[in-house]
């Protein structure tokens, strides 16, 4: 009897911090922005409740265009990160020699430990009008005047891929690492071509890693702030920038909260859709390591 | 022969070239950000005017080095303070969570496990605004009903710590739980059979085993806290951490080489910490 009491007590002691953390810092705050988003200020200290903030969002094209733009650019960045990262992950997990493998993996992780701000700043130094690329191009005589390579969509996408590609590589390496080469060999022995073996054996095997990488990358991109602002300039039209502006510049918490809810609902929906389409679960992908 | 590799030499070279190009892409901005910290010029740009350490140590106008720039130092101090505190808290909570999910059976465990992961997939900006809104609601409620003013619920260090804690705890929980899962429970049983109390078993058997994971969870949490921007931006008060101070400087004053110096300092610092955590993990590997 005493033994189960101890078990019960230790369960309560372990569960309490978890419950406090999740309830006070995650669930209640999310309900809080949901509540604020339904509120409309009609006078000092007077509020009515309804969907007017959401209606305002829909009736202002610049708002929902920004959300759509953020969405499609995030999807583009995710696809590009997968395209760029998969060969790298495959090389590290399957081709590199044992010894160089760890070194390569570590080298890929180094930028991960440097803040977004430093990375974006590095790109600014390279790409702006007085930057490295511009002066090099002038020196070798390819262009006559300074060229501005910042503040366009291609640069924003390139910078975002840079920021997130590591989060694609890590889960891919850990799944591909578990794949036995004899699977590939069997595929060839059975007469499969390179493409068939890749499509029918490697990709299905790597699927949990692909899904995990895509989810993390998509969330990070859609929620990113620094890279689009610094590399895209004032006209980058990124949704998190709108949220920040409503909250801090205009002090309009009601509409800022509405935007927040919309971003959360939207990103959750994309993640849910991705998991659904590939038949994975959140626990089996994101929390694998 | 490695069947996984391309067979023709041409393709092999092509593949290697791709890897090199990729590594160059990874290194380029870091290299550029670091390099101009040492250029004797007022702007982080070419031409190269010679090597200098002024952007670190100079104390005279117009080149104030980072170690004489009071606001940057203040930011660094705040970042260290926040980072150490929030990482310690997140490791403590993460250890509890690891034991909860690895050792206990309870109804609804799967749902709670998903809830534990959820903070990782909520965008940082939203975590920031939701905690800001919730804390303000409590603060306003207290003020209106009881006339109490709780200033720590307004933007400032306390909220920054809460905001970072909210998602760092997920990371530390996952790192520590992964190690706890590999623990051979018969070691604990043996110690219990030999007459040790539960507390003693925890202190002398289980926690020492977890130590490398606790350490690397702390390092990861510290680094993520140090470089966090999105959540912090929404919750920051007058005591801004370094990333926010740097961003302010970049937007308001424009880029000067002192920012390169800070970048270089951060790269070296976090690189060394990350390396340390790898070494600790490695040293421990043969034992498991």
Contact, B242 vs B223, CB < 8 A? no
Q: Is B29 touching A (CB cutoff 8 A)? A: yes
Determine, for residues A106 and B278 on separate chains, whether the beta-carbon distance falls below 8 Å. Answer: yes
Q: Which residues from chain A sit within 8 angstroms of residue B114, using beta carbons?
A: 282-283
Q: What percent of chain B has pLDDT over 90?
A: 15
| The token pair that represents B226 in the structure block | 């140090």
Place of tokens 């920021």: A163
Q: Which residues from chain B sit within 8 angstroms of residue A18, using beta carbons?
A: 93, 96-97, 100, 112, 116
Q: Is B96 touching A (CB cutoff 8 A)? A: yes
Determine, for residues B19 and A88 on separate chains, whether the beta-carbon distance falls below 8 Å. Answer: yes
Determine, for residues B243 and A117 on separate chains, whether the beta-carbon distance falls below 8 Å. Answer: yes
| The token pair that represents A255 in the structure block | 């509409």
For residue A131, give how far its alpha carbon lies from the nearest alpha carbon of chain B (Å). Answer: 6
Would the pLDDT of B288 be above 50? no
pLDDT in tens, B121-132: 888 889 999 999
Q: Could you tell me which chain B residue has the CA closest to the CA of A126?
A: B32
- CATH class for domain B81-239? mainly alpha
Phi-psi bin for A128: left (phi > 0), alpha (psi -120 to 50), beta? Answer: beta
Residue closest to B127 by CA, chosen among B169, B179, B98? B169
For residue B244, give how far its alpha carbon lies from the nearest alpha carbon of chain A (Å). Answer: 9
Which residue range forms the structural domain that includes residue A109? 54-113+164-285
Q: Within a domain: residue A236?
A: yes
**Contacting residues for B216 by C-beta, under 8 A, at least 6 apart:** B175, B277, B280, B281
Contact, B227 vs B83, CB < 8 A? no
Determine, for residues A26 and B122 on separate chains, whether the beta-carbon distance falls below 8 Å. Answer: yes
Spell out where chain B has E strands. 59-60, 63-64
DSSP state of B51: B
Would the pLDDT of B208 be above 60? yes
HEC profile of chain A: CHHHHHHHHHHHHHHHHHHHHHHHHHHHHHHHHHHHHCEEEEECCEEEECCHHHHHHHHCHHHHHHHHHHHHHHHHHHHHHHHHHHHHHHHHHHHCCHHHHHHHHHHHHHHHHCCHHHHHHHHHHHHCCCCHHHHHHHHCCCCCCCCCCCCCHHHHHHHHHHHHHHHHHHHHHHHHHCCCHHHHHHHHHCCCCHHHHHHHHHHHHHHHHHHHHHHHHHHHHHCCCHHHHHHHHHHHCCHHHHHHHHHHHCCCHHHHHHHHHHHHHHHHHHHHHHHHHHCCCHHHHCCCC
Contact, A232 vs A155, CB < 8 A? yes
| Cα angle A142, A148, A152; round to 5 | 125
Q: Within a domain: residue A146?
A: no
DSSP state of B48: P
Helix axes A153-177, A203-222, angle to 10 degrees: 140
pLDDT in tens, B181-201: 888 888 888 888 888 888 888
C-alpha to C-alpha distance for A233 and B106, rounded to whole angstroms: 51
Q: Within a domain: residue A73?
A: yes
Torsions phi, psi for B68 (to 5 deg): -120, 5
C-alpha to C-alpha distance for B212 and B233, rounded to whole angstroms: 32
- Looking at residue B287, its pLDDT comes to 44
Choose the closest CB to A286 out of B26, B120, B274: B120
Q: Provide the CATH number for the domain around residue A246.
A: 1.10.3720.10
Label residues A146-181 b or e (16+ Cβ within 10 Å = b). Answer: ebebbbbbebbbbbbbbbbbbbbbbbbbbbbeebee
Pairs of CB atoms within 8 A across A/B: 240
Cis peptide preceding A268, ω within 30 of 0: no
- Looking at residue B263, its pLDDT comes to 86
B64: β partners: B59
Give the B window 114-153 contacts with A, CB below 8 Å.
Answer: 114-127, 129-134, 137
C-alpha to C-alpha distance for A134 and A5, rounded to whole angstroms: 71
Q: Mean pLDDT, to the nearest integer, of B146-175?
A: 87
Q: Within a domain: residue A149?
A: no
Q: What percent of chain B has pLDDT over 70?
A: 94
Provide the residue-wise pLDDT of chain A in tens; the chain has 289 residues: 455 777 788 888 888 889 899 888 889 999 999 988 888 877 777 777 878 888 888 888 888 888 898 989 999 999 999 999 999 998 888 888 777 888 888 788 777 777 888 888 888 888 887 777 777 787 787 777 777 777 888 889 999 999 889 889 888 888 888 888 788 888 888 877 777 888 888 888 888 888 888 888 998 898 888 888 888 877 778 888 888 888 888 888 888 899 999 999 988 888 888 888 877 777 666 654 4
**Contacting residues for B4 by C-beta, under 8 A, at least 6 apart:** A90, A94, A95, A181, A184
Determine, for residues B29 and A15 on separate chains, whether the beta-carbon distance falls below 8 Å. Answer: no
C-alpha to C-alpha distance for B263 and B282, rounded to whole angstroms: 28
Residue closest to A37 by CA, chosen among A263, A224, A268, A238? A263
| Cα angle A254, A255, A260; round to 5 | 100
Contact, A262 vs A67, CB < 8 A? yes
Determine, for residues B266 and A94 on separate chains, whether the beta-carbon distance falls below 8 Å. Answer: no
The whole model's pTM is what? 0.85
For residue B277, give how far its alpha carbon lies from the nearest alpha carbon of chain A (Å). Answer: 12
pLDDT in tens, B32-84: 888 877 877 777 776 677 777 777 777 767 677 777 778 888 888 899 999 99
The total of structural domains in chain A comes to 1
- Looking at residue B92, its pLDDT comes to 93
Q: Within a domain: residue A126?
A: no
Determine, for residues B230 and A115 on separate chains, whether the beta-carbon distance falls below 8 Å. Answer: no
Q: Within a domain: residue A1?
A: no
Contact, B271 vs A110, CB < 8 A? yes
- Looking at residue A43, its pLDDT comes to 72
Q: Within a domain: residue A30?
A: no
Q: Is B171 touching A (CB cutoff 8 A)? A: no
Q: Which residues from chain B sit within 8 angstroms of residue A226, using beta carbons?
A: 229-230, 247
Determine, for residues B112 and A18 on separate chains, whether the beta-carbon distance falls below 8 Å. Answer: yes
Count the Cβ atoms, other than its own, within 10 Å of residue B125: 27
- Looking at residue A287, its pLDDT comes to 55
Determine, for residues B131 and A91 on separate chains, whether the beta-carbon distance falls below 8 Å. Answer: no
Determine, for residues B124 and A223 on separate chains, whether the beta-carbon distance falls below 8 Å. Answer: yes
Q: Within a domain: residue A19?
A: no
C-alpha to C-alpha distance for A230 and A228, rounded to whole angstroms: 6
Place of tokens 């067979």: B7
C-alpha to C-alpha distance for B225 and B241, rounded to whole angstroms: 10
Contact, A179 vs A206, CB < 8 A? yes
Helix (H, G, I), strand (E, B) or coil at B12: helix
A47: β partners: A41
pLDDT in tens, B220-233: 899 889 888 888 88
C-alpha to C-alpha distance for B123 and B145, rounded to whole angstroms: 33
* Average pLDDT score, chain B: 84
A48: β partners: A40
């Amino acid at each position: 009897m005493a033994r189960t009491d101890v078990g019960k007590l230790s369960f309560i002691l372990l569960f309490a911090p978890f419950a406090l953390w999740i309830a006070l810092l995650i669930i209640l705050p999310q309900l809080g922005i949901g509540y604020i988003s339904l509120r409309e200020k009609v006078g000092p200290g007077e509020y009515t409740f309804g969907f007017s903030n959401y209606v305002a969002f829909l009736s202002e094209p610049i708002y929902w265009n920004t959300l759509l733009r953020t969405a499609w650019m995030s999807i583009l960045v995710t696809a590009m990160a997968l395209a760029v990262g998969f060969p790298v992950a495959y090389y590290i997990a399957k081709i590199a020699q044992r010894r160089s493998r760890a070194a390569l993996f570590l080298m890929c992780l180094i930028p991960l430990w440097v803040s977004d701000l430093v990375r974006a700043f590095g790109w600014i130094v390279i790409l702006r009008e007085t930057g490295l690329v511009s002066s090099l191009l002038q020196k070798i005589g390819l262009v006559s005047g300074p060229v501005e390579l910042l503040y366009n969509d291609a640069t924003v996408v390139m910078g975002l891929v840079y920021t997130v590609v590591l989060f694609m590589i890590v889960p891919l390496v850990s799944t591909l690492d578990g794949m036995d080469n004899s699977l590939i060999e069997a595929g060839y022995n059975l007469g499969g071509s390179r493409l068939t073996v890749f499509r029918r054996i490697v990709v299905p095997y790597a699927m949990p890693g692909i899904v995990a990488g895509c989810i993390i990358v998509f969330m990070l991109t859609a929620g990113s702030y620094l890279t689009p602002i610094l590399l895209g300039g004032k006209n980058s039209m990124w949704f998190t920038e709108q949220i920040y502006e409503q909250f801090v510049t205009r002090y309009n918490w009601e509409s800022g909260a509405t935007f927040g809810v919309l971003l959360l609902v939207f990103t959750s929906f994309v993640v849910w859709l991705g998991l659904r389409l590939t038949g994975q679960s959140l626990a089996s992908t994101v929390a694998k390591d | 022969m490695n069947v996984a590799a391309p067979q023709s030499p041409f393709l092999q070279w092509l593949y290697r070239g791709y890897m090199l190009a990729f590594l160059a892409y990874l290194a380029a901005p870091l290299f550029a950000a670091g390099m101009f910290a040492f250029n004797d010029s007022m702007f982080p740009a070419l031409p190269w005017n010679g090597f200098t350490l002024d952007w670190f140590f100079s104390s005279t106008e117009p080149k104030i080095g980072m170690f004489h720039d009071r606001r940057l130092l203040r930011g660094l101090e705040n970042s260290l303070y926040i980072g150490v505190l929030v990482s310690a808290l997140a490791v403590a909570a993460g250890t509890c969570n690891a034991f909860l999910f690895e050792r206990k059976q309870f109804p609804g465990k799967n749902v709670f496990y998903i809830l534990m992961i959820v903070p990782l997939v909520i965008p940082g900006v939203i975590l920031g605004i939701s905690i800001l809104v919730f804390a303000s609601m409590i603060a306003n409620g207290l003020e209106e009903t009881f006339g109490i003013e709780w200033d720590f619920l307004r933007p400032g260090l306390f909220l920054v710590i809460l905001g970072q804690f909210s998602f760092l705890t997920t990371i530390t929980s996952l790192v520590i739980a992964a190690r706890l899962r590999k623990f051979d429970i018969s070691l604990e049983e043996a110690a219990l059979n030999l007459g040790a109390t539960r507390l003693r078993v925890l202190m002398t058997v289980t926690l020492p085993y977890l130590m490398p994971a606790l350490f690397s969870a702390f390092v990861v949490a510290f680094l993520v806290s140090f470089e966090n921007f999105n959540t912090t931006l929404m919750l920051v008060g007058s005591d801004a951490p370094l990333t926010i101070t740097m961003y302010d400087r970049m937007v308001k004053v424009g880029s000067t080489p002192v920012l390169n110096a800070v970048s270089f300092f951060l790269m070296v610092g976090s690189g060394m910490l990350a390396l340390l955590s790898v070494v600790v993990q490695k040293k421990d590997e043969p034992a498991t």
